[in-house]
């Protein structure tokens, strides 16, 4: 990453977003950090400044779709342009489809899919006018195959692939590059903050999540992929094999998924 690049990260107060912020701070990037937890976000900002970055924060709840155009305009205004946006914020789920209220389905889709779409559609004209840019999007291996207790979450991640791979095709000749970041098990708070069917937090770390790779290891791989503008990067451990099983042996993948004791 060249010094002076401006990078906007959503979901920057913990996990992968926080870890990436620190990596780019060491490279003297101009950082814009967005998340819902203001105090935690300021702590990350202060750490990034100590590491050598210029860093601004834009706290925001991405489920409030009405204000996203204004949020994006604010982000652009902070440093005059944005070279890379890392659309990383998201909410997961821990409930069967029929046990999940529509309001939960909608919130997950709003945060995971519609918010990134709105940000991209507002930001891309400016990127194109400035000669191009990179849009990195955190999806999931749940965006490659359905998974128990994740109906809305998987749907949102499938949808990200459809939208952003299309953006990549449509605007490639205008120097827009899209990087699909596809994590498997990474040890973050995503399972703790996942929503149950009634909208309450799951409130516990899943065993699979607890055994995942560290956020720091994931961030190093993600940062390299963004720098090289790879179309997709898979991040995790042996669970990533399921992506290839689904691709080449879809019938086997369906049998495996049906037998998973999901938590």
pLDDT score, position 195:
96
Active-site amino acid positions: 153
In angstroms, rounded to a whole number, what is the distance separating the alpha carbons of residues 24 and 31? 8
Domains and CATH numbers, the chain: 6-259 (3.40.50.720)
Q: How confident is the model at residue 1 (pLDDT cuts 50, 70, 90)?
A: low
In angstroms, rounded to a whole number, what is the distance separating the alpha carbons of residues 224 and 204? 31
8 Å CB contact between 136 and 89: no
Strands 176-183 and 133-138: parallel
Distances 37 to 12, 43, 58, 85 between C-alpha atoms, Å: 10, 10, 10, 20
pLDDT surpasses 80 at 19: yes
pTM above 0.85, yes or no: yes
pLDDT score, position 153:
98
Q: pLDDT per residue over 180-211, tens digit each?
A: 999 999 999 888 899 999 999 999 888 878 88
Angle between helices 115-129 and 151-171 (to 10 degrees): 20
Query: Could you give phi then psi for residue 194, rounded to 5 degrees?
Result: -60, 155
């Amino acid at each position: 990453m060249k010094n002076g690049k401006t990078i906007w990260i959503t979901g920057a107060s913990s996990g992968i977003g926080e870890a990436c912020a620190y990596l780019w701070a060491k490279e003297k990037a101009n950082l814009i950090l967005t998340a819902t937890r203001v105090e935690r976000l300021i702590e990350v900002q202060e750490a990034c400044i100590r590491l050598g970055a210029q860093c601004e924060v834009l706290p925001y709840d991405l489920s409030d779709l009405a204000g996203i155009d204004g949020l994006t305009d604010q982000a652009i205004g902070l440093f005059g342009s944005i070279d890379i946006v890392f659309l990383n914020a998201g909410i997961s789920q821990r409930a069967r489809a029929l046990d999940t209220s529509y309001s939960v389905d909608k919130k997950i889709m709003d945060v995971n899919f519609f918010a990134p779409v709105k940000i991209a559609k507002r930001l891309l004209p400016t990127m194109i006018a400035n000669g191009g840019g990179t849009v990195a999007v955190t999806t999931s291996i749940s965006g490659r195959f359905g998974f128990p207790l994740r109906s809305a979450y998987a749907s949102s991640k499938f949808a990200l692939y459809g939208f952003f791979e299309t953006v990549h095709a449509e605007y490639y000749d205008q120097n827009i590059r899209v990087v699909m970041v596809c994590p498997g098990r990474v040890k973050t708070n995503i399972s703790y903050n996942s929503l149950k069917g009634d909208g309450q937090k799951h409130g516990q770390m899943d065993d699979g999540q607890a055994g995942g790779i560290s956020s720091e290891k994931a961030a190093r791989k993600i940062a390299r992929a963004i720098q090289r503008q790879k179309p997709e990067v898979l991040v995790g451990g042996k669970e990533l094999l399921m992506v290839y099983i689904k691709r080449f042996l879809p019938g086997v993948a369906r049998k495996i998924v049906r037998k998973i004791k999901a938590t």
